[in-house]
């Protein structure tokens, strides 16, 4: 589970921005058994989901971009293809100092009973600093620290193999030390990089292409398909069955197409032949037959999105992963989104403490009976283009039984656009222009 994520000097976040999943004592009596995972060792109370609100261009998506950048760089920085590339970071560019300064990222997370704190600072040219700590018996220990001079400090007796990697000059300036360790089969490196790759899932609610394969490749598994059908019935989509008709998609062994591109092409081809089955009724509305519908042609965009979204949601719930979704509610009914949030809050549906993080404009979710104050976050941008992230529990004087939705719409919590009387201004200008003719 994620405990805390922080980012500094990346896109719209000029100053350090902290996204915490530690449940506050302020809300301790509110939905404590449902919305909070109680971790025995180390002793923690962690939120199972969090929602981020904000005006257009305030930074909601940029926050998820920060998650995505950190994950991608940890997983891929040491690959040969990246040896001569610049690091794809994007510092805050509306300030003369920050645009030349490094961007910083840090994630605190659990692997079993081990609590890790890992982070790095990067410019487009190089990794400036990098660090990894582990907490044992309520005390934090440094596993390694990579300084601005490129020197990596660590326990040379405990991690003797690391020195061999450094002496062989295998750690590039534009690559992370942790990724390099994983590349050379170091146990700790593999553990941390695997966490980012497998346990942290980041998807777009606006484009299903990136996660179609999660469900398409597993429909042949009868147990998995049963779970999928339960999920579709839960959404009341009227679908009796889903089937995929195989198409040969072999690539020539001599081709040089990257594996991830191959998989995307194969998934797109297979999705073209995905069928749903619907009940047909006679004149008396008695079941008579069934009809096959082509998913991409006959089903609504909302149904298609929910079907493909079923893959990462089921995977997260089954394995206890953290799922981060940009625009989760796009093309989905508000009631359905509410039920999805409830799934992650549920002890029965979410026994492995998966987490759901998403952004939205849907104010219907601001229900004190669904979410606690510490699960509701806002992004607000000031006149200098700098975004600030804060939770509802950070605002003093907010009662747990308030009308969160109405207060948010009225601008009491911030995170909404300031809309001047621009409609009348445009009309006035148009009328004046017409009168001049």
| Strand partners of residue 118 | 107, 132
Where does the pLDDT of residue 434 fall: very low under 50, low under 70, confident under 90, or very high at 90 and above?
low
Percent of the chain with pLDDT over 70: 89
Does the pLDDT value for residue 60 go beyond 90? yes
**In angstroms, what CA-CA distances link 77 with 1, 2, 55, 69, 180?**
23, 22, 33, 11, 8
In this predicted model, which residue has the larger pLDDT, 102 or 397? 102
Convert the pLDDT of each residue in 283-314 to its tens digit.
999 999 999 999 888 988 889 899 999 999 99
Q: Would you state the pLDDT for residue 411?
A: 85
- Please tell me the distance from the alpha carbon of residue 88 to that of residue 73, in angstroms, as a whole number: 9
User: What are the structural domains, with CATH classification, of the chain?
Assistant: 1-206+327-437 (3.40.50), 209-319 (no CATH)
Q: Which of 63-72, 245-254, 381-390 has the lowest mean pLDDT?
A: 245-254
Does the pLDDT value for residue 426 go beyond 70? no
Q: Would you state the pLDDT for residue 324?
A: 97
The enclosing H or E element of 434 equals helix 422-436
Does the pLDDT value for residue 194 go beyond 70? yes
Contact 19, 50 (CB under 8 A): yes
Where does the pLDDT of residue 268 fall: very low under 50, low under 70, confident under 90, or very high at 90 and above?
low
Q: What are phi and psi of 242, to 5 degrees?
A: -130, 135
| Average pLDDT, integer, range 26-44 | 89
Where does the pLDDT of residue 173 fall: very low under 50, low under 70, confident under 90, or very high at 90 and above?
very high
Global model pTM greater than 0.85: yes
- Please tell me the distance from the alpha carbon of residue 155 to that of residue 115, in angstroms, as a whole number: 19
- Please tell me the distance from the alpha carbon of residue 205 to that of residue 332, in angstroms, as a whole number: 10
Does the pLDDT value for residue 364 go beyond 80? yes
Length of the chain: 437
Does the pLDDT value for residue 184 go beyond 70? yes
Does the pLDDT value for residue 10 go beyond 90? yes
Q: Would you state the pLDDT for residue 245?
A: 72
Contact 36, 407 (CB under 8 A): no
Cis ω for the linkage preceding 42 (within 30 of 0): yes
| Average pLDDT, integer, range 276-287 | 92
């Amino acid at each position: 589970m994620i405990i805390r994520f922080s980012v500094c000097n990346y896109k719209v976040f000029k100053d350090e921005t902290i996204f915490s999943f530690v449940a506050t004592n302020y809300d301790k009596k509110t939905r404590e058994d449902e919305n909070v995972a109680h971790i025995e060792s180390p002793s923690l109370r962690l939120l199972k989901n969090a929602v981020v609100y904000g005006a257009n261009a305030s930074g909601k998506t940029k926050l998820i971009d920060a998650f995505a950048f950190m994950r991608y760089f940890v997983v891929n920085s040491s690959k040969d293809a990246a040896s001569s590339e610049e690091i794809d970071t994007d510092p805050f560019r509306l300030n003369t100092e920050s645009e030349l300064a490094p961007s910083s990222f840090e994630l605190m997370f659990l692997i079993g009973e081990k609590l890790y704190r890992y982070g790095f600072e990067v410019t487009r040219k190089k990794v400036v600093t990098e660090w990894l700590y582990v907490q044992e018996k309520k005390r934090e220990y440094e596993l390694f620290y990579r300084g601005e001079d490129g020197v990596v400090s660590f326990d040379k007796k405990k991690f003797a193999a690391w020195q061999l990697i450094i002496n062989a000059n295998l750690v590039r300036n534009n690559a992370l030390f942790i990724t390099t360790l994983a590349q050379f089969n170091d146990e700790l490196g593999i553990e941390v990089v695997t966490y980012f790759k497998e346990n942290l899932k980041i998807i777009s609610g606006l484009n299903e292409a990136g996660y179609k394969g999660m469900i398409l490749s597993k429909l042949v598994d009868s147990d998995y398909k049963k779970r999928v059908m339960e999920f579709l019935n839960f959404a009341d989509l009227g679908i009796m069955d889903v089937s995929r008709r195989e198409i040969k998609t072999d690539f020539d062994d001599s081709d040089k197409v990257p594996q991830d591109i191959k998989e995307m092409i194969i998934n797109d081809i297979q999705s073209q032949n995905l069928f749903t089955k619907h009940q047909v009724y006679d004149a008396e509305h008695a079941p008579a037959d069934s009809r096959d519908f082509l998913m991409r042609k006959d089903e609504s965009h909302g149904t298609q999105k929910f079907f493909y979204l079923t893959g990462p949601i089921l995977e997260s719930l089954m394995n206890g992963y953290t799922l981060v979704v940009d625009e989760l509610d796009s093309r989905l009914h508000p009631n359905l989104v509410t039920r999805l949030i409830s799934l992650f809050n549920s002890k029965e549906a979410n026994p492995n403490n998966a987490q759901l993080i998403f952004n939205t404009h849907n104010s219907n979710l601001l229900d004190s009976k669904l979410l606690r104050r510490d699960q509701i976050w806002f992004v607000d941008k000031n006149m200098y283009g700098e975004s600030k992230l804060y939770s509802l529990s950070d605002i003093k004087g907010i009662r747990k039984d308030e009308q969160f939705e109405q207060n948010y719409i009225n601008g009491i919590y911030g995170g909404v656009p300031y809309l001047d009387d621009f409609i009348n201004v445009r009309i006035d200008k148009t009328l004046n222009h017409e009168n001049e003719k």
